[in-house]
């Protein structure tokens, strides 16, 4: 997922109903391969968050995000001081520069987390709640960003994510 992923999603949405827009996007990381999610959220390019930012920019520029659309995503790692954690913090900063305030969110504010807790995961042998706890010990494991219209004072410009494309394609081949 990146700018090309956004383009494919936009084409799909336009084929179904061209007026469809998102109010809420929840990036679910637990069932995705860890490296795929991490590389989508933080990228490998110099500026952390390149694939995620380009994905969101693509949707926003195609007018597929309602003003005030919320993006909810999970913190990638709980090991403060690690390179992955540093890149995660840089991604948060990039999101804040592009869209405004990034808010830390506790698990109970995630509708999917609440639904899994309410169902007690009895119908699914995959225990989402326990898996989230296994992968992240942070009290507030999610962050929320309100995707607003383009800011005129935004110093960021679209970043080429060809490097990310190549790495993600390789990874997808390996997972298949």
Domain boundaries, the chain: 3-149
Res 163: pLDDT: 44
User: What's the Cα-to-Cα distance from 160 to each of 4, 8, 19, 55, 105, rounded to whole Å?
Assistant: 11, 17, 28, 11, 30
Asked whether the beta carbons of 12 and 58 are under 8 A apart, the reply is no
Residues 122-145 pLDDT 10s: 566 666 666 666 666 666 777 888
Residue predicted with more confidence, 114 or 103? 103
Q: How far apart are CA 59 and CA 15, in angstroms?
A: 15
Instruction: Specify the pTM.
Output: 0.71
> What integer is the mean pLDDT of 97-115?
81
Res 11: pLDDT: 94
Residue 52 has pLDDT above 70, yes or no: yes
Q: How far apart are CA 65 and CA 20, in angstroms?
A: 9
């Amino acid at each position: 997922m990146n700018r090309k992923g956004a383009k494919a999603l936009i084409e799909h949405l336009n084929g179904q109903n061209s007026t469809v827009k998102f109010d809420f996007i929840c990036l679910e990381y637990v069932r995705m391969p860890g490296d795929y999610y991490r590389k989508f959220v933080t990228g490998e390019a110099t500026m952390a968050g390149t694939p995620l930012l380009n994905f969101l920019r693509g949707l926003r520029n195609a007018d597929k995000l309602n003003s005030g659309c919320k993006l909810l995503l999970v913190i990638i790692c709980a090991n403060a001081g690690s390179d992955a954690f540093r890149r995660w913090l840089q991604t948060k900063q990039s999101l804040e520069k592009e869209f405004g305030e990034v808010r830390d969110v506790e698990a109970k504010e995630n509708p999917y987390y609440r639904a899994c807790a309410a169902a007690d995961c009895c119908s699914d042998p995959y225990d989402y709640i326990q898996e989230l706890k296994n992968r992240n010990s942070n009290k507030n494991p999610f962050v929320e960003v309100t995707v607003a219209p383009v800011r005129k004072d935004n110093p960021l410009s679209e970043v080429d994510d060809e490097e990310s494309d190549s790495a993600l394609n390789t990874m997808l081949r390996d997972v298949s």
